[in-house]
Structure 1
Amino acid sequence: MRTLPIIPVAVLALVTLTACGSQTVSGDGAGAAGHRALTDLPYTDVRWNIESLTSEGRKTTAPAGASLHFPDGGTVQGNSGCNTFRADAGLDGDALVLGQVERTMIGCPEPAADFEETLLSVIGGRLKADLSADEKKLTLTDSGDGDTVTLTAESPTPLLGTKWTVNSLITGDVAASVPAGAEGAAHLVLGKDGTVRGNLGCNTFTGTAKVSGQKIALGRIASTKMLCDGAKGQVEAHLLKVLNGQVTFSVQHRGLTLTGPGERSLAAVAGG
């Protein structure tokens, strides 16, 4: 496993992780000189759920929400289960070559932080991509030390009927993970019957929700009346500002982003 440099954590700062021996590939869809674009390959038009990685003989199961995809001919994008990341990508012969890996810098609790560091170390270089006969499994193998990442093809998670567990609170361009003591509590389910229900981090709630295009018109939220302070109160106050009137949503793989008024947003992952 390659060793990554130690980088101070700064919320949503974009940093570059340089893996030893990695090669930089341009992100213009054409690849760098000598590298072909990732076009017409069976794994490039699929969103892949990261199942596990094996490094130095140790297999680790991926956290919920970890995913990877190739949105165009020259890049790879993904989510480690905490931070999002991207890199330029191309083909050098039969090798998949990834350039410098860039990621957001939300503070990740353990074991997600350790998984992220190992994942980015494994994929930051030359890889062999093996696709199963049914095209449902993809294995990326580090050409240098044989570390592997195992992925499974997955359709985008449906907006309606899914339990979305909040894992990030966003204000403007600044995102922060759910504070310690409130992890996993806040969630919501948008029903096919035009309702929304869930937990705000402390109190449970219900309301109406009408989906149209990429927008959701939310009616007045009714909730229980427990007094909420500390981390749970902080999460609840943020969610009440997001779930207020008309919100915009985006579903990507197993992730949901809801953006409400006043530049307040939340990110959530399916399940939890």
Structure 2
Amino acid sequence: MKKYSSILMLVVFLSFSSCSSLGGLNPLSLLTGNNWVLNSLMGNALDPSKLLGKIPSLSFLDGGKLAGNTGCNNFNGKFALDGKNLSLDPGAMTKMACAGDAGKMETDFLGALAQVKNLKVGKDKLTLMDGAKELMSFIPQAK
């Protein structure tokens, strides 16, 4: 009997320890509480010194609205969150010419946004993923 109770306790422990790292926090409240600035893209850390313009960013707004900047152009679109599943639509975008590295950053950033299927979010980091593959990570903008 003692063996069965030990196994049961182990199963209960593993069940609780495998729960999401959100610790009961609502992912939507973490998303909408910050302006997120790009920290890495396709596994590469962002080098702000190589960017002539702004650092790409995302803001998740009430009502499923999405706003941001590609490093060159601003956009306003929408997002849909269902548990950890996420879809992003940048929607309308300004049409400024993006020269050099800013143009490549915009292309890479928008390409990665189109691939997003799910997320991991915490107080200090947002990771957008395609399944298990990390596409990009963000940190909250300093206030």
1:159 to partner: Cα distance? 1.3
Q: Secondary structure at the match of 1:242?
A: helix
1:181 to partner: Cα distance? 3.4
1:165 maps to a residue whose letter is: V
> 1:202 and 1:264, CA in 2 relative to 1: closer, same or farther beyond 3 A?
farther
Residue aligning to 2:30: 158
1: distance between equivalents of 2:134 and 2:49? 20
Residue aligning to 1:197: 67
2: distance between equivalents of 1:202 and 1:260? 24
Are 1:166 and 1:178, in contact at CA under 8 Å, matched by a contact in 2? Answer: no
TM-score, length of structure 2 as denominator length: 0.67
More strand by share: 1
Which of 73, 78, 85 is residue 208 of structure 1 equivalent to? 78
2: distance between equivalents of 1:178 and 1:203? 19
More helix by share: 2
How many residue pairs match? The answer is 115
Residue aligning to 1:252: 122
Which of 204, 208, 227 is residue 97 of structure 2 equivalent to? 227
Are 1:164 and 1:268, in contact at CA under 8 Å, matched by a contact in 2? Answer: yes
1:206 to partner: Cα distance? 1.0
Runs of 4 or more, structure 1, over 6 Å off, are: none
2:87 maps to a residue whose letter is: A
1:187 to partner: Cα distance? 0.7
Q: Secondary structure at the match of 1:267?
A: strand
Are 1:243 and 1:260, in contact at CA under 8 Å, matched by a contact in 2? Answer: no
Residue aligning to 2:88: 218
2: distance between equivalents of 1:197 and 1:268? 14
Query: Taking every aligned residue pair, what percent have the same amino acid on both sides?
Result: 30
2: distance between equivalents of 1:210 and 1:249? 12
Matched, 1:167 2:39: yes
TM-score, length of structure 1 as denominator length: 0.37
Residue aligning to 1:132: none
2: distance between equivalents of 1:181 and 1:252? 28
2: distance between equivalents of 1:246 and 1:267? 11
Are 1:179 and 1:231, in contact at CA under 8 Å, matched by a contact in 2? Answer: no
Q: Write out per-residue CA displacement over residues 214-262 of structure 1, whole angstroms, 9 at most, x where no aligned residue.
A: 121223532111111222222211110122165311113311111249x
Which protein has greater RCO, CA pairs closer than 8 Å, 6+ apart? 2
Mark the structure with the bigger radius of gyration. Answer: 1
Residue aligning to 1:270: 140
Are 2:75 and 2:90, in contact at CA under 8 Å, matched by a contact in 1? Answer: no
1:200 to partner: Cα distance? 0.7
Gaps of 5+ in 2: 1-16, 18-24
1: distance between equivalents of 2:129 and 2:109? 10
